[in-house]
A and B are shown apart, each in its own frame.
Chain A
Amino acid sequence: METLYLIFIDPFVQMVVEPAFLVEVLIGGLMSGVMYSLVALGFVLIFKASGIFNFAQGIFVLFAALNFVGLMDLGVHPILAFLITVGIMTVLAFAVDRLVLRPLVNQDPIILFMATIGIAFFLEGFGESIWGGDVRPVRVGIPDAALFWEAGFGEILVQSSDLFAGVIAAFLVTVLALFFHFTPVGRALRAVADDHQAALSVGIPLNNIWVIVWAVAGFVALVAGIMWGAKLGVQFALSTIALKALPVLILGGFTSIPGAIIGGLIVGAGEKLFENYWGVPLLEGATEEWFAYIVAMIFLFFRPQGLFGEKIIERV
């Protein structure tokens, strides 16, 4: 009875009794959720346009952040460092296209997937040999202070850096969504994602599109890398955190941009809520590490295409 009470009744009683804490937990969760969304977006972009699951997206985040921080440590102005890194990610997109994807065109998806694992290992080693393996702090002047917000039901504490990250991410996500839906290039990207042959026949050159997509994914990775870096320092563990994007993708659907965003928010908020109301009292905490994966597994049982993914219909 005691356990049942703790599982089904007590958490909700807590939420009602202390609404300020609930809001704090939710905000914290949504903010980290937005960061998951950013990483997941990179996966979705590439998966949509080329049907490749880019295992290296996590390393992209790290590699972009490493370059950015490395350049800044050399005394380059943050804005210039940002632009140079965008350039580096574009060159990287080109290189991936020419050296890896083109020779493997028309191969099975699993072959391309393996190739991206290769890219991941390469970039991890390459990044480390250039910039070293130390944890580097990001100092781009993202304000880091505790803000107190007086709500009707109590005082709420928010980190201004979290808020900042949330706003940037929300902005980026909106821009990308508009870009995909209302511009000719976005339409071309979606067309390629939908049907390669048809895209070719209306005159969309596949190769250029792939470079654009990988470059955009690189750009998203850079923004995600800076945000994560500002929070945790740029370190190699970032690429592991980036794997949190997997449950986000399973939740949201691999082919849906809104899915990636909402999936990220659900995972972020869900794991914080679970940790605070169920994890700590019942399981001695540290549930954040695995909660998302369990949710993803449950989703795989009941809705494998995710919340927003295209339904997979196999015609026999």
Chain B
Amino acid sequence: MNRPEHILLSVKDISLRFGGVRALTDVSFDIREGEIFAIIGPNGAGKSSMLNCINGFYHPQEGTITFKGEERRQMRPHEAAAQGISRTFQNIALFKGMTTLENVMTGRMLKMQASFVEQALYIGRGKREEIAHREKVEEVIDFLEIQSIRKTPVGRLPYGLQKRVELARALAAEPELLLLDEPMAGMNVEEKEDMCRFVLSTNHELGTTIALIEHDMGVVMDLSDRVVVLDYGRKLAEGTPDEIRGNQDVIDAYLGVSHD
């Protein structure tokens, strides 16, 4: 929670089209360092598209994204990852055949400096690095309380735990900005509470800035410092949870307006 006024990521006039479909139109907002920032909106509002623009899966036709003071229009996903942006997915994207431990290890991929040959032969730097990374990974595993499933192939884990492993993999990269696409979707109340706790402690203890998409309004209002509302690809409102709660446009977008 250091220097909350400092801007980590700034999205300016982003427009994204797929053929004739306008997924995003002139969307701008800032994410401040150390905050939990929520992106909400009805289905199809362009929330996931926004995250995909930030981490480089989509390339917006117009607008700029400034991350850590560096402005850019396009970036490849692995470059975004290298600069410190990690993410999770709406429909869990884990390596199902690998164990929890191996999945989380892949999060360390970019931190490995040893040459290909050293890694392949497990000699010199390759070996030292592997051991150092294992320690970091074990820390993350402890942090998210998934020690007991370290060696279990993730394909066999229940949904809630898979989500947690995905978060662990994202955290293993020690990101500066963590993007969570519906981290609590499809979870029961207990799992949601756990996940909320982990999101909060990630933010408080590790100081990670978090941008999340979530449909559960209770969760959003409890967790986030600031909220942006999207509707039909446009920004409807931005502000603190209290401001958003009282915003008439937002209420209309969610509940519908009668046109009589």
Contacts and interface: CB of A to CB of B under 8 A. Distances in A.
A205 B107 CA distance: 13
Contacts of B209: none
B234 interface: no
26 contacts: A183-B120, A183-B126, A184-B105, A184-B112, A184-B114, A184-B126, A184-B129, A185-B119, A187-B105, A187-B109, A188-B109, A194-B97, A195-B94, A195-B95, A197-B93, A199-B95, A199-B106, A200-B77, A201-B170, A202-B86, A202-B110, A202-B170, A203-B78, A203-B82, A205-B76, A205-B78
B55 to A, nearest CB: 7
Contacts of B126: 183-184
Contacts of B169: 202
A201 B119 contact: no
A114 B119 CA distance: 35
B131 interface: no
The 5 closest A-B pairs by CB, nearest first: A203-B81, A198-B93, A194-B95, A200-B77, A203-B110
A5 interface: no
Interface in B156-174: 169-170, 173
Q: What is the interface of chain A mostly: helix, strand, loop, or mixed?
A: helix
A310 interface: yes
Nearest to B121: A183
B68 to A, nearest CB: 16
Contacts of A12: none
A271 B61 CA distance: 60
A204 interface: yes
B90 to A, nearest CB: 11
Interface string A172-203: 00000001001111111011001101111111
Interface in A184-243: 184-188, 190-191, 194-195, 197-206
Given A202-B81, A203-B81, A203-B82, A187 B94 contact: no
Contact of B77 (A185, A191, A201, A310): A201
B127 to A, nearest CB: 10
B180 to A, nearest CB: 12
A203 B95 CA distance: 14
A190 B169 CA distance: 15
B96 interface: yes
A184 B87 contact: no
B95 A191 contact: yes
A154 B95 CA distance: 52
B173 A202 contact: yes
A194 B120 CA distance: 20
Contacts of A310: 97
A202 B78 CA distance: 7
Contacts of A179: 120
A28 B129 CA distance: 44
